[in-house]
Amino acid sequence: MSIPRHWRLQDQRYSMVGEVCNSCGAKLFPPRDVCPECSKPAYEPYTFSGNGKVYSHSTVYQAPTGYEAFVPYTVALVKLDEGPLVTAQLTDVDGDEVEIGMPVEMVTRKLREEGEDGLIVYGYKFRKVLHEQTS
Amino acid sequence: MRDVSIIGIGQIEVAEHWDRSLRHLGGDAVLAAMQNAGIETADALYVGNMLSGLLTGQEHLGALIADFVGLRGIEAVKVEAACGSGAAALRLGYATVAGGLHDVVIVAGLEKMTDTANAETTTGLVMAADADYESIHGLTFVSINALLMRRYMYEYKIRHEDFAPFSVNAHRNAVGNPYAMFRRPITVEQFRRARMISDPINLMDSSGIGDGAAAVVLVPSCMAKDYRNGGAVRILASSMATDAVAVHDRPDPLWLSAVEASAFKAYQQAEVGPRDIDLFELHDAFTIMSALSLEASGFAERGKGVWLAQAGEITREGRIPVCTMGGLKARGHPVGATGIYQIVEVVQQLRGKAGANQISNAQLGMAQNIGGSGATVITHILEAQD
């Protein structure tokens, strides 16, 4: 797998950098340069908090190539506090514990590896919120 | 614009064809369609296919199949729109005949899926999704649909077993289709107890993966009588619409807006409404897709697609029969070929040649082929032609 393909997405994978639309204020993740709400340009970077709630979830038992070692794993659509939905794995949680509406937060984890000598891809996953935020 | 008719159909059994290569499968379907149409040559060949490059190391299917069936030299190209590739190729063929570029066009759908191991095929299928933002997280195509199904069950308070009628109906109809992959009925109990794939989706929610090829021959409707064919069927409407590839990029994941746009454009072109449709070959890759398709196509209200099935309205005797020859679930889902199987089956119904599965007095049939989890949707409405 090509290294540049992952390198160029490091801001998204490690920090959830999306965009905000200058015209209508919509917050976009992933970044897409044209606002889907108002079709105006959206180039202003915006860093998401990484907090959200589980919108839906499923457990994968039959994985694609490169993910076999993680089976079974839980995947989810997470509704970010700022609005967008994002697709990601849930981590540090049993599949049985997961519920729609459960508060989650972004963490950085290993997404996949390409064999013993291969590339390791890191990026965001979400875990159950451990402590209520005080600030 | 000229009216366009289908004058020939051909298909092979959806199965694990270990003894047949990609080109042989495609060739069998194309030659059968040519024979059924009574043609010996064609102006162009369009081949719908999704995964030949990854799964068999073979791209360039237009020239490959054209040459293999004795049509070396004609215009030929592969069309790709994930699981919607077949109907996307038909849309191209329709456009060239309607627009007057060609008089005789063959459209084939072709997929070879059983030469590879499961993980490879799973990897291939998820290429229909967003590679950078869905697939990289280990999502499979099944799990993307599972996310939709879980949310649907949550919002509308529907149990998993409520989806059973979709699969029971598909298997019942496959019994009468010699080209179907699973020609045996299933019970609600078998549906409930099937092996889990990606919860809540189990094996009986899911369409079958197989090798398949199907083909149709198009001519201008005014020329249909010039060929000694098996019966002409007019294409009253052909439409395509798109949505965001990734489910997370859609403002309302439980509403397939491209299904709605594609279906209603087709109704408008054909000057009909959902009430006029006698049978509907919908894209039942998973039971959840059947429910969502019925809703967005105007056959059921939002959140009520499952209840239409529960009421028996999707069976051959019901108000809107779906998957009349087994659907993706039980005829099988050779992804890039599926859209053409659907068309072949609607033609069988409108010709009155569907055997035990014949829908009585079928005049208008609709076929809807979906790429990905709803990102490309192609709808065709066909009418029996005298």
Q: The domain that contains B342 carries what CATH number?
A: 3.40.47.10
- B203 part of a folded domain: no
Scanning chain B, the segments in alpha helix (DSSP H) are 22-37, 52-56, 61-68, 85-98, 118-125, 141-156, 164-174, 188-192, 257-270, 287-296, 305-310, 335-351
Could you tell me if B10 and B81 lie in one domain? yes
Which residues constitute the domain of residue B39? 4-117+209-233
Three-state DSSP class for residue B98:
helix
Report CA dihedral (B313, B315, B318, B323) to the nearest 10 degrees: 90
Could you tell me if B188 and B65 lie in one domain? no
What pLDDT score was predicted for residue B122?
Answer: 87
- Collect all residues with Cβ–Cβ distance below 8 Å to B40 and sequence separation of at least 6: B34
- A73 part of a folded domain: yes
Q: Which of residues 7-46 of A touch B (CB under 8 A)?
A: 9, 30, 36
At residue A63, does pLDDT exceed 90?
no
What pLDDT score was predicted for residue A2?
Answer: 78
Of A55, A68, A75, the CB nearest to B119: A68
Strand B4-11 to B233-242 pairing: antiparallel
Could you tell me if B366 and B255 lie in one domain? yes
What pLDDT score was predicted for residue B386?
Answer: 73
CA B238 to chain centre: 14
* CB burial string B83-118: b at 16+ within 10 A, e below: bbbbbbbbbbbbebbbeeebbbbbbbbbbbbebbee
The predicted-structure confidence for B312-326, as pLDDT tens digits, reads as follows: 999 999 999 999 999
At residue A135, does pLDDT exceed 70?
no
Active site residues of B: 83, 333
Whole-number Å distance between alpha carbons of B263 and B269: 10
What pLDDT score was predicted for residue B161?
Answer: 98
Positions in chain B short of pLDDT 50 = none
The strand pairing partners of B370, in sequence order, are B377
The predicted-structure confidence for B96-132, as pLDDT tens digits, reads as follows: 999 999 999 999 999 999 998 888 888 899 999 999 9
Could you tell me if B220 and B258 lie in one domain? no
Compare A1 and B196 and report the one with higher pLDDT. Answer: B196
CB distance A58–B120 less than 8 Å?
A: no
Q: How many domains does chain B have?
A: 2
What pLDDT score was predicted for residue B41?
Answer: 98
What band does A130 get if pLDDT is binned at 50, 70 and 90? confident
What band does A94 get if pLDDT is binned at 50, 70 and 90? confident
What pLDDT score was predicted for residue B118?
Answer: 82
Could you tell me if B247 and B224 lie in one domain? no
Output the average pLDDT for chain B: 97
- A80 part of a folded domain: yes
What band does A118 get if pLDDT is binned at 50, 70 and 90? confident
Lowest mean pLDDT, pick from A69-73, A86-90, B250-254: A69-73
Torsion angles phi and psi, residue B169, rounded to 5:
-65, -45
Q: How many domains does chain A have?
A: 1
* CB burial string B294-311: b at 16+ within 10 A, e below: bbbbbbbeebbbbbbbbe
- B131 part of a folded domain: no
- A61 part of a folded domain: yes
At residue A33, does pLDDT exceed 90?
no
Could you tell me if B62 and B27 lie in one domain? yes
Residues of B in contact with A5 (CB under 8 A): 132
- A117 part of a folded domain: yes
- A57 part of a folded domain: yes
- B122 part of a folded domain: no
What pLDDT score was predicted for residue A132?
Answer: 64
- A106 part of a folded domain: yes
- Collect all residues with Cβ–Cβ distance below 8 Å to A135 and sequence separation of at least 6: none
What pLDDT score was predicted for residue B223?
Answer: 96
Could you tell me if B243 and B349 lie in one domain? yes
CB distance B139–A60 less than 8 Å?
A: yes
Could you tell me if B68 and B172 lie in one domain? no
- The rounded radius of gyration (Å) of the Cα atoms in chain B is 19
In sequence order, what DSSP letters do the residues of B122-164 get, joined into one string? HHHHGGGS-TTTTGGGT--HHHHHHHHHHHHHHHHT--GGGGH
- A19 part of a folded domain: yes
CA-based nearest residue in chain A for residue B253: A85
The predicted-structure confidence for B245-303, as pLDDT tens digits, reads as follows: 999 999 999 999 999 999 999 999 999 999 999 999 999 999 999 999 999 999 999 99
Residues of A in contact with B136 (CB under 8 A): 111-112, 121, 123
Could you tell me if B225 and B262 lie in one domain? no
Which of B51, B130, B147, B153 would best serve as a mutation to test chain A binding (most A beta carbons within 10 A)?
B147
Could you tell me if B76 and B107 lie in one domain? yes
What band does A62 get if pLDDT is binned at 50, 70 and 90? confident
- A133 part of a folded domain: no
Q: Would you state the structure tokens that stand for residue B94, as one six-digit string?
A: 């329709």
Global ipTM: 0.95
CB distance A100–B123 less than 8 Å?
A: no
Could you tell me if B14 and B143 lie in one domain? no
Q: Would you state the structure tokens that stand for residue B80, as one six-digit string?
A: 């790709």
Which residues constitute the domain of residue A16? 3-128
Of A61, A64, A111, the CB nearest to B196: A61
- A126: amino acid identity, one letter: F
Of A57, A65, A123, the CB nearest to B136: A123
* CB burial string B190-206: b at 16+ within 10 A, e below: ebeebeebbbbbbebbb
